[in-house]
Amino acid sequence: MLVILGISSGDSQDQPLTTILSASACTAPYVELSGGCFYFHETFMNWHDARDYCRGLSGDNISVDLATVADCDQASRIYQHIIMEYGALWHWLGGSDEGQEGNWHWVTGDSVPMGHPFWYPGHPDNYPENNCLAIHRTTGYFVAYGCENTGPFVCQQF
């Protein structure tokens, strides 16, 4: 957020003018949450198609992919935005263990944080078909779902 402050008495051209500006580094349809630019897409797609869609939004000097989560605050803000704007719907995020079962990574190559407070109890599970990460619809925790399931998703500018 950019804030510019000045003081004006209103009776002279030489006095500074009080101005408050709020600027976001994100442009519509992206929403700024905890320092990231996120696009919440409500078309239902499987994880791979959702990722392809997000990557297709990349442009000059902007890379877009399924969203990653930097910390608990960001996870909470993403979940709160989903609940406030879309109701209790799970959403795909950019995590997967498709490369190696049990070795979860974000689309950026960074490791997905494991255990509490990120994952729903019992997740990630040991089912080999549940290789893609979603944000749970009623709790906001990470869950492992089958990548072929269709649901809404979150893209992020990098």
- CA-nearest of 28, 1, 49, 40 to 156 is 40
Question: 22 pLDDT band (50/70/90 cuts)?
Answer: very low
Q: Which positions ≥6 away from 118 have C-beta within 8 Å? A: 69, 72, 75, 112, 141, 142
Residue 15 in this model has a pLDDT that exceeds 60: no
Residue 11 has pLDDT above 80, yes or no: no
Domain ranges of the chain: 31-157
Architecture of domain 31-157: Roll (3.10)
Closest CA to 130 of 107, 109, 101: 101
**What is the SS3 assignment for 91-150?**
EEEEEECCCCCCCCEECCCCECCCCCCCECCCCCCCCCCCCEEEECCCCCCEEEECCCCC
Average the pLDDT over 12-20 and give the result: 41
Question: In this predicted structure, what is the pLDDT of residue 4?
Answer: 33
pLDDT score of 105 more than 60? yes
Six token digits for residue 59: 């442009």
Indicate whether 5 pLDDT > 70: no
